[in-house]
Each structure stands twice: as C-alpha cells, then as structure tokens.
Copies of this chain bind each other. A is one copy, B any other.
Amino acid sequence: MPVLDLPIRLDSSQRGQTRQLHAALRAAILDGRLPAGLKLPSSRALADQLGINRNSVVAAFEHLAGDGFVEPRPGAGTFVAVGLPMPVVGGPVPDPPLPPPRRPFGLGYSLTDDALLHRLAGHIRRRVLTAQTADLDYGDPRGSAHLRREIAQYLAVQRGIRCDPGCIIILTGTQPGIRLLADGLFRPGDQIWVEDPGYDASRFTLTAAGLCPVPVPLDGEGMDIETGGRDWPAARAAYVTPSHQFPTGVAMSLRRRLALVAWARSRQGWIIEDDYDSEFRYAGPPLTALAGIAAERVLYLGGFTKTLFAGLRLAYLVAPPEILPQLLAARAALDRFPPSFTQDAVADLMAEGYWLNHTRRMRRHYRMARDRVVAILRDCAGPALRVDVPAQGLHLLAQLPEGATQAHAIRDAAGVEALLLSEARLRPDGPEGFVLGFSGHPLADLEQAAQRLGQAARDHLG
C-alpha cells in the first residue's frame, strides 16, 4: 500500500481539512511532485498517515476527481490523471520603468504638507464611514454630484466658465480625459492639431487612442491658427494649453483665441483646452478660459494633480451637454468613475475653503522657488541663458542664445533632470533651452541645481 511521500501538514486548529488536503494534493500534482499515473494511497491509509478523519480524505479525493486531477478506477484505487498540462513557469519578471524619484527641475510635482493630508484623511474616513448603499455601487457615470457642484462654482468664480454641474465629468486624470474624448468624439486616424513644442504625454495619449496629432507652430501669441489651417486643413480638433502654453509659457492672445474659436465654429471642430496650471497665477487675475467664451466648442480639462497630488487620481472635464451621452457611453468601456469617497472628500475640502487656502499657501511657496531659481540662474549664467519669469505655473523656461545647440552637454555637465525644449518639439529645428520644474522640490536642492545649471551654461557659452 503506497504511503504518500509528501510533507503535507494540515493545520488541525483550522476547520476545512478537506479543503487543505485538496489544495496540498492539487499543488503537488500541478508542480509534478505527484507524477501522472501515480497511484495514491487509499483514503484509509492517508487518513491514518495524516491523523485525520477518513471522510475528509474521501471528500478531498472526490473534489480532485471532479476537478479532473485524479482518476478513480473502481477496484484499483485512485490515480493521478494522465495528460494534465504542466504549468510553464514564467520567465523572469521584468522591472517596469518606474517613475523617477523627484529630482530638481523634474516637472509636475506638487507640494503637500501634513495639514493637508490630515484634513483629507479625516474627510475620506468620514465619507467611507457614512457611505450609503448607492455610494458603494456603480454610481453616476459623471462622478460625485457634490464634487461637480464645487467645481462648477470654482470655475465660475475663478475661470469665468459658467457651466451646469451636470456638464462636468469627474476623471481619474487628465490623460484619461483625453482618452475619453478620443474614444467618444473622434474616429481612428482623425487629425488633431497640437502645439509644437507641446506636451508629449498628451500627444502620446492621442496617438495611443488611434488619432493623429499634427504639429502647429507657436509664436508669441500662442498657436499659429493660420498656419494650422493651411498645413492641416482636415483636422477635427485642436489640443491647446492657452492660459500658459506648455512648455513655452506663452499666453494665447485674445486675437488668437477668437481665431481658434472661429475655426472650430466654422467646421464644427473641437477645442481641447488643457488648463493644467491656472490655479498658480502669480501676476494679475487668471486669463479667461476658452471655455468661458465658446463653451459650445470647448472641451475643458482641469484637475487636482497640481493643487493636491498626482496619486489622488482626480481631474475633470467640462463638455457641452449635447455630447455628454456619447462621452458617457465611451466611458463605460474605459475607467467608469473614481471611488465616491475620494471625490466627496475633495468636495469637502473645496466646500470648507480649505482647498483654495491650501492652493494659495502653495502658490506662495512656488513663487518663492520661482524667484530663487530665476535669480540664481541669471546670476550664474549671465548672458548664456535667457530666463523667462512665468506669470503662472510650475515651470520656467531658460533659453540658450539664438543658434546655440549645447543643451545636452550643459544638462549633462550640470547633472540636472531638465527637459530640453528640443525634446518637447516635433519639428527638428528651433530655439534650444531648458524647461525647469520648480514645484515640489526642496528649495535648497533647487538653488544648488540652478547654480550648477547656470555655471554649466556659462562654461559652455560664456
């Protein structure tokens, strides 16, 4: 009578010995320790060996037979099934490209503090504790009504956008929003104007969604609508950052805004307005959003990545009511909606004024960081860098003198993470320079990095 030569240990303090034995035998069969065709011990012998009830063994055998892992042969015993596929052990697991840790001039970071986390944690906790059944189920595909009301109010007061909260869709991020627009409004291959230079992540998302981003050049007034119309007359939409062009920092002039709106109206095209950093305005009131002057052709994207933090995964889209049904249909096959408790907790932060205060507090920090970086760069680089002082946002541009091309070498010498202007551009030629993020980094780190970059620029170009 065979004895099972396996170190099976059942935890007798736990119920479910059948379940434990079944799992142990299945694992042994699957990994080959019990080879195909092997005769198992009788249920009585195995029960004796393991010190458990025979019925438990019989039941485990029956389940294994039901699974197909063993074959009972009447009068002969129970055998490990023949012909089971052996699992192929996967190859080594590749390490995916992780986002880099924060380094000075890295873009898109936000500053948070313990006070914010404490307040947010309290709101989330309360929202989870008081969740109603409807909050736990699939909800309104537009997201929390509470958060949409707060956003609508903020947009009206701060951005000159008047919209019904019903026209707001809460997103898990701006890129998911662009993806939603791609799926809900456009057809594969549709051309979309993008600013050149521009935001590469959005270009990537448009391309991944099967669309065709086409570059339109900029000048001091923003996207050159006339050139766009001449070069890409068939485009169905324009993706723009009019309040503070990424990365150049240009604010689109009203003339250009009107030209863009006229273009969109004339062909029933769409304007995707990515208003990614207008909460951080250092000089004067924020510019009126395009969605404030042509709501019926504008798809407005805003979010909480910069005023709160990226890991929260919250952004929003304002869309004309006519296209909501098609957007929501597309959304059902994408990410659906973020958890209600996160949305409602952020709405709580807004309703009590905390969010606006936090944003103001952070704006002061960012402004100080901007001013320090500008001062040091100008001081160290001299004429080797032309440093713009952005009126808004979390990055600044430091350009090389016309014709200079040593940006790579300077960056390497300085050992900083700066994005190069040429890396944000689709066309091969144009001015060269550095796009420098100054938010979410310790001031001392920024100061040192600015010194190194300024010095390296002077060394190469002085």
Query: Which residues in A have some Cβ–Cβ distance to B below 8 Å?
Result: 18-19, 22-23, 26-27, 30-31, 59, 62-63, 66-69, 81, 83-85, 87-99, 101-102, 109-110, 112, 117-118, 120-122, 124-126, 128-129, 131, 133-142, 157-158, 160, 162-164, 166-167, 172-173, 175-176, 179, 183, 188, 204-205, 207-210, 253-255, 257-258, 261-262, 284-285, 287-288, 292-296, 309-313, 320-322, 324-325, 328, 330, 332-342
Contact = CB atoms under 8 A, between A and B. Distances in A.
Contacts of A95: 166
Given A98-B140, A102-B133, A313-B337, 20 more contacts: A63-B285, A68-B257, A83-B258, A85-B258, A85-B262, A87-B162, A88-B295, A90-B167, A90-B322, A93-B166, A93-B324, A94-B325, A96-B140, A98-B139, A121-B124, A124-B125, A135-B311, A136-B312, A175-B332, A175-B333
A333 B313 CA distance: 14
Residue of A138, A163, A173, A310 most packed against chain B (CB within 10 A):
A138
Contact of A334 (B22, B131, B285, B334): B334
A126 B330 CA distance: 35
Contacts of A176: 334-336
Contacts of A68: 253-255, 257
16 contacts: A23-B158, A30-B288, A67-B287, A84-B293, A88-B296, A91-B320, A93-B164, A96-B142, A99-B139, A120-B128, A124-B128, A137-B309, A188-B188, A188-B210, A208-B332, A311-B341
Residue of A122, A173, A288, A325 most packed against chain B (CB within 10 A):
A288
Contacts of A164: 90, 93
Residue of A99, A209, A261 most packed against chain B (CB within 10 A):
A99
A117 B88 contact: no
A7 to B, nearest CB: 17
A91 B166 CA distance: 11
A126 B112 CA distance: 16
Contact of A160 (B18, B23, B102, B120): B23
B328 A296 contact: no
A336 B324 contact: no
B336 A172 contact: yes
Contacts of A325: 94, 96
Contacts of A313: 335-339
B288 A26 contact: yes
A137 B109 contact: yes
Contact of A179 (B63, B94, B133, B334): B334
Nearest to A65: B254
A321 B92 contact: yes
Nearest to A63: B284
A324 B285 contact: no
A299 to B, nearest CB: 13
Nearest to A163: B90
B292 A87 contact: yes
Contacts of A261: 85
A96 B169 CA distance: 11
A69 B92 CA distance: 61
Nearest to A336: B173
Given A135-B311, A288-B67, A167 B93 contact: yes
